[in-house]
Amino acid sequence: MPKFSYKARNQKGALLTGEAEAADSKELQENLFSQGLIPISVRGIGKKNINLQGIGDIFKRVKTEELMIFTRQFYTLFKAGISMDTILSAVSKQLASRTLKEAVQKIKIDVAEGASLSQAFGRHPKVFDEMYVSMIAAGEEGGILEKVLAELVVLLEKEGEIKRNVKSATLYPKIVIFVLILAVTVLMTVVVPKFSTFYAHYGSALPLPTQILIGVSNFTKDYWYIVLAVMAAIVFFYRRYYHTHSGRLKIDKWRMKMPIFGDLSIKIANARFGHILASLYKSGLPMPRSLEVVSNVIGNEAFALEVKKVRDRIQKGSLLSDAMSGTALFPPVMIETTAVGERTGALDEMLSAVADHYDLEIKHTIKNLTTLLEPILLIGIFAVVTVLALSIFLPIWNMSRIVGGK
**pLDDT tens for residues 386-400?**
888 888 888 777 766
SS (H, E, C) 300-332: CHHHHHHHHHHHHHHHCCCCHHHHHHCCCCCCH
Q: Which CATH number does 162-406 carry?
A: 1.20.81.30
Confidence of residue 166 (pLDDT cuts 50, 70, 90): confident
pLDDT grade, residue 88 (50/70/90)?
Answer: very high
Instruction: Please give the pLDDT value at position 55.
Output: 45
Alpha carbons within 13 angstroms on the beta-carbon side of residue 150 total 7
Whole-number pLDDT of residue 404: 54
The backbone torsions φ and ψ at residue 379, rounded to the nearest 5 degrees and listed phi first, read -65, -40
Q: Could you tell me which residues are beta bridge partners of residue 21?
A: 3
CATH superfamily of 64-158: Type II secretion system (T2SS), domain F (1.20.81.30)
Distance between alpha carbon 276 and the CA centroid of its chain, in Å?
A: 15
Burial of residue 344 (number of CB atoms within 10 Å: 0-12, 13-18, 19+): exposed
| Closest to 145 in 3D by CA, of 78, 83, 235 | 78
- Other beta carbons less than 10 A from residue 30's beta carbon: 13
Compute the distance between CA of residue 390 and CA of residue 137 in angstroms, rounded to an integer. 66
49 by Cβ neighbours in 10 Å (0-12 / 13-18 / 19+) ranks as: exposed
Which DSSP symbol is given to 61?
P
Q: Quick one: which of 340, 342, 349 has its CA closest to 314?
A: 342
8-17, 192-201, 312-321: the lowest-pLDDT one: 8-17
Describe the crossing of helices 301-315 and 287-297 by its angle, rounded to 10 degrees. Answer: 170
- Type of residue numbered 328: A
Alpha carbon distance 271, 276 (integer Å): 9
> Which of 147, 116, 128 has its CA nearest to residue 282?
147
57: left (phi over 0), alpha (psi -120 to 50) or beta: alpha
Local confidence band at 58 (pLDDT 50, 70, 90 cut-offs): very low
> Residues, the chain, total?
406
The closest alpha carbon to 190, from 161, 217, 153, 163, belongs to 217
Q: Are 46 and 63 in contact (CB under 8 A)?
A: no
Q: How far apart are CA 149 and CA 74, in angstroms?
A: 8
Residue 140 has pLDDT above 80, yes or no: yes
Domain definitions of the chain by residue range: 3-53, 64-158, 162-406
Task: Look at residue 202 and tell me whether its pLDDT is greater than 70.
Answer: no
- Whether 52 has a pLDDT exceeding 50, the answer reads no
Instruction: Look at residues 70, 63, 18, 62 and name the one whose alpha carbon lies nearest to residue 40.
Output: 18
Q: What is the pTM of this model?
A: 0.75
Please, is 278 exposed, middle or buried when counting C-beta atoms within 10 Å of its C-beta (0-12, 13-18, 19+)? Answer: buried
Q: Do domains 64-158 and 162-406 have the same CATH topology?
A: yes
CB 40 within 8 A of CB 9: yes
Task: Tell me what the mean pLDDT of segment 167-172 comes to.
Answer: 81
Q: What is the SS3 assignment for 267?
A: helix
Starting at the earlier edge strand, list the strands of the sheet with 3-9: 15-21, 3-9, 38-45
Residue 203 has pLDDT above 60, yes or no: yes
- Asked whether residue 319 carries a pLDDT value surpassing 70, the answer given is yes
Q: What is the pLDDT of residue 273?
A: 93
The distance between the two most distant Cα atoms of the chain, rounded to a whole number of Å, is 96
Q: Which of 156, 147, 159 is nearest to 283 (CA)?
A: 147
Amino acid at 225: Y
